[in-house]
């Protein structure tokens, strides 16, 4: 009796961890945007978030430091594209276009992977995967309301597309990683690498520290800027990553991947509450089709974790030892 209840309780707790992780990650954009509106550069906001990640993951990165000798190319690429690239391009995008739209475009990463596999590698792609690609493209058209012309900032759309490309790189790099490289090692060392890279690019010594010590507008009210900074560091990074790691030990990739898409819902709801950003009914319908298409494409993307930001899953989920 006890033996049969243990797997069920692990799955239930895994769902809870995955849900909490998705909700925590979904708040990164809505809480980062007020800092940008107050004058903090998007790259510097990225650096602030990666600072929290590096402090959190440094002990883990030190534990796996031997991988730097044998897997340095993979770890460098992982830090550049899936971690620094995704976050920097996403934050730069939301400074120009609505948070929800930017995140939905970013979540098209699996679609880009399938296009790469089918068009560049010339490998066969499942029909369900092609259906996912078609739905994602159709939904994107509705999300952007293309029949009205280009009404959103073109550079913002391009930046969101680059975030999606970096997310696609995550899947390809995960596929290239050897089986003896733990997902948590990729996250930890990659996060520290990303922090070093963004320190050079963002030049944090030029940060407007007076803004960080003052007040910003959140949900139409004045609040200390450190509320956003602490949210990005503690909730959207520390809590999100640790609950994500806990989830990979308890859930199968398809289940955890489906839960991870609640990040999009969270971002849209928080952007509405905090930033007064709303979508039309047509855009909501397009968003739903994009999520469905990306999910179908993701299920057909082999040997890759399901969410590029939190790396919720490994090709073969690990177990507690």
pLDDT of the residue at 318? 32
Distance of CA 45 to the CA centre of its chain: 15
Among residues 24, 2, 1, the alpha carbon closest in space to that of 245 is found at 24
Q: Domain limits at 44?
A: 2-128+153-277
Calpha distance 246→239 (Å, rounded)? 11
Cβ contacts of residue 121 below 8 Å, gap of 6+? none
Instruction: State whether residue 218 is helix, strand or coil.
Output: strand
pLDDT tens for each residue of 161-213 = 999 999 888 778 876 766 677 878 888 999 999 999 999 999 999 999 999 99
Q: What is the pTM of this model?
A: 0.85
Residue 103 lies in a domain: yes
Residue 143 lies in a domain: no
Residue 237 lies in a domain: yes
Residue 178 lies in a domain: yes
Domains in the chain, number: 1
Residue 217 lies in a domain: yes
Among residues 162, 132, 97, the alpha carbon closest in space to that of 261 is found at 132
pLDDT of the residue at 110? 82
Residue 88 lies in a domain: yes
User: Largest Cα–Cα distance in the chain?
Assistant: 61
pLDDT of the residue at 1? 45
Residue 206 has what DSSP assignment?
G
pLDDT of the residue at 3? 45
pLDDT per residue, tens digit, the chain (321 aa), is 444 446 778 788 888 888 898 888 899 999 999 999 999 999 999 999 999 889 989 999 999 999 999 899 999 999 999 899 999 999 999 999 999 999 999 988 888 888 888 888 888 878 888 888 888 889 888 888 877 777 889 999 999 999 999 988 877 887 676 667 787 888 899 999 999 999 999 999 999 999 999 999 988 899 999 999 999 988 998 788 778 777 767 776 566 666 777 888 889 999 999 999 988 899 989 999 988 888 888 776 554 444 545 444 333 333 233
Residue 15 lies in a domain: yes
Residue 296 lies in a domain: no
Calpha distance 315→13 (Å, rounded)? 20
């Amino acid at each position: 009796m006890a033996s049969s209840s243990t797997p069920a309780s692990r799955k239930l707790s895994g769902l809870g961890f995955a849900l909490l992780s998705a909700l925590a990650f979904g708040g990164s954009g809505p809480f980062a945007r007020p800092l940008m509106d107050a004058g903090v550069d998007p790259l510097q906001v990225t650096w602030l978030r990666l600072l929290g990640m590096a402090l959190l993951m440094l002990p883990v990165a030190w534990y796996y430091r031997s991988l730097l000798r044998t897997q340095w190319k993979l770890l460098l690429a992982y830090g550049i594209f899936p971690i620094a690239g995704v976050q920097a391009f996403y934050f730069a995008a939301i400074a120009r276009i609505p948070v929800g739209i930017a995140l939905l475009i970013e979540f098209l990463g699996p679609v880009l992977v399938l296009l790469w596999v089918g068009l560049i590698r010339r490998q066969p792609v499942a029909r369900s995967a092609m259906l996912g690609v078609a739905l994602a493209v159709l939904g994107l058209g509705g999300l952007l309301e293309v029949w009205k012309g280009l009404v959103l900032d073109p550079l913002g759309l391009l930046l969101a597309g680059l975030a999606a490309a970096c997310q696609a790189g995550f899947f390809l790099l995960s596929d290239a990683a050897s089986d003896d490289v733990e997902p948590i090692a990729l996250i930890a060392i990659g996060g520290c690498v990303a922090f070093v890279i963004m320190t050079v690019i963002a030049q944090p010594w030029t940060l407007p520290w007076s803004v960080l010590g003052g007040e910003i507008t959140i949900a139409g009210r004045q609040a200390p800027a450190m509320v956003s900074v602490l949210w990005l560091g503690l909730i959207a990074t520390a809590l999100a990553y640790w609950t994500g790691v806990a989830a990979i030990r308890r859930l199968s990739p398809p289940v955890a991947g489906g839960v991870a898409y609640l990040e999009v819902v969270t971002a849209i709801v928080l952007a509405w509450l905090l930033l007064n950003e709303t979508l039309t009914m047509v855009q909501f319908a397009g968003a739903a089709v994009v999520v469905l298409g990306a999910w179908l494409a993701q299920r057909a993307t082999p040997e890759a974790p399901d969410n590029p930001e939190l790396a919720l899953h490994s090709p073969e989920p690990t177990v507690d030892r």
